[in-house]
Amino acid sequence: MAILVTGGTGYIGSHTVVQLLQNGYDVAIIDNFSNSKPEVLERITQITGKTPRFYEGDILDGKKLDMIFDNENIDAVIHFAGLKSVAESVQKPELYISNNVGGTMVLLKYMAKHNVKNLVFSSSATVYGVPKHVPLCEDDEVGGCTNPYGQTKLDIEFLLKDYAKIHKDANIAILRYFNPIGAHPCGLIGEDPNGIPNNLMPYITQVAVGKRDHLNVFGSDYKTHDGTGVRDYIHVVDLARGHLCALKKLEEKPGLVIYNLGTGKGTSVLDLVKAFEQVNNIKIPYVICDRRPGDVDENYANCDKAYKEMGFKTELDIFDACRDSWNWQKKNPNGYDK
């Protein structure tokens, strides 16, 4: 039985594929390389000694999905494929809806046709909107998303809940990621954003490697201990392991379940900068700027449910992530481009 990983050459997808292969799973990937590079497949093979079967394509292409499900004996799908830039989603909301929500609808159609019952979905803490309190629990109110990207993740969660009501034998794990950072400790795979990084850690590593001359800190007047935004930064290797815990959970036939994947700790922008400087002995110059529209003061997870119901809790911390992100960036100053 195989696991189909949509978006499996992306940042989180590739780290998850590595762990799936290392744990004996048979893996097939579909990816359109819209936010990744073919080189990732080479790196996955270098790390694991195994090569997942690969189908270049878009999840909106029903014929391609139909062919994959015909060719493969898929037991479960891990669904990462989707556009994920908050800033771009504000400029192009229709593109995000058609790609993220539309793509998931096509995937579900062919999962149902081929009687594939198990799905792990890559959701996001942005579904909580502007938190009324922290830490956030899975049964806290969702909605009021501050950007179309987050809204598409929430729309897909509602779609999956409706799907589970129709397909009573479906087992679906919705995983709400907080802020993924870090890289595989070998430095062969990591975060390689297109263009100017939206996210904090890749921007920091590009300052460290000399691609950017300083970090812009978006706002210092938030209601946090040092005035800068607080988030829950989870190491991508922990996050990937959380997907294997979710696959195991689905073997219990739980129906639809929802889990926060985070550390349960809040870290500010300046905390992360200081941790990076300390671990790597590199100075990160920064300038305090205006707030970025849509940002919230603080957002971090209550992780009790993931531990209680699937035995998942993080083992790595922000210092491990700062070390591993820098190791990836210094070995790959231009990401996957040579």
The residues that are catalytic are: 149
Q: How far is the CB of 26 from ligand WQD (least distance, A)?
A: 27
Query: Distance between CA 275 and CA 27 in Å, rounded?
Result: 36
- Per-position DSSP letters for 49-89, written without gaps between them: S---EEEE--TT-HHHHHHHHHHS-EEEEEE--S---HHHH
Beta bridge mates, 123: 176
Q: How long a stretch of residues is the chain?
A: 338
Closest to ligand WQD by CB, 216 or 302: 216
Q: How far is the CB of 2 from ligand WQD (least distance, A)?
A: 25
Q: Are strands 230-231 and 267-268 parallel, antiparallel or unpaired?
A: antiparallel
Closest to ligand WQD by CB, 79 or 84: 84
Beta bridge mates, 118: 76, 171
Strand order in the sheet with 74-79: 53-56, 26-31, 2-6, 74-79, 118-124, 171-177, 256-261
- Per-position DSSP letters for 225-292, written without gaps between them: TTSS-EE-EEEHHHHHHHHHHHHHHHTT---EEEEEES-S--EEHHHHHHHHHHHHT----EEEEPPP
Is the peptide bond preceding residue 202 cis, with omega within 30 degrees of 0? no
Instruction: Give the residue at shortest CB distance from ligand WQD.
Output: 229
Closest CA to 16 of 121, 147, 127: 121
Closest CA to 148 of 81, 243, 80, 84: 84
Structure tokens belonging to residue 205: 């590593």
Closest to ligand WQD by CB, 171 or 314: 314
Enumerate binding residues for ligand WQD (CB under 6 A): 84, 86, 124, 126, 177, 179, 198-200, 203, 215-218, 229, 231, 269, 292, 295
Closest to ligand WQD by CB, 32 or 122: 122
Q: Under a CB-based contact definition with an 8 Å cutoff, are residues 97 and 113 in contact?
A: no
Q: How far is the CB of 256 from ligand WQD (least distance, A)?
A: 21
Q: Is the alpha carbon torsion for 244, 248, 253, 258 positive or negative?
A: negative
Closest to ligand WQD by CB, 229 or 335: 229
Closest to ligand WQD by CB, 269 or 306: 269
Q: How far is the CB of 312 from ligand WQD (least distance, A)?
A: 18
Q: How far is the CB of 330 from ligand WQD (least distance, A)?
A: 19
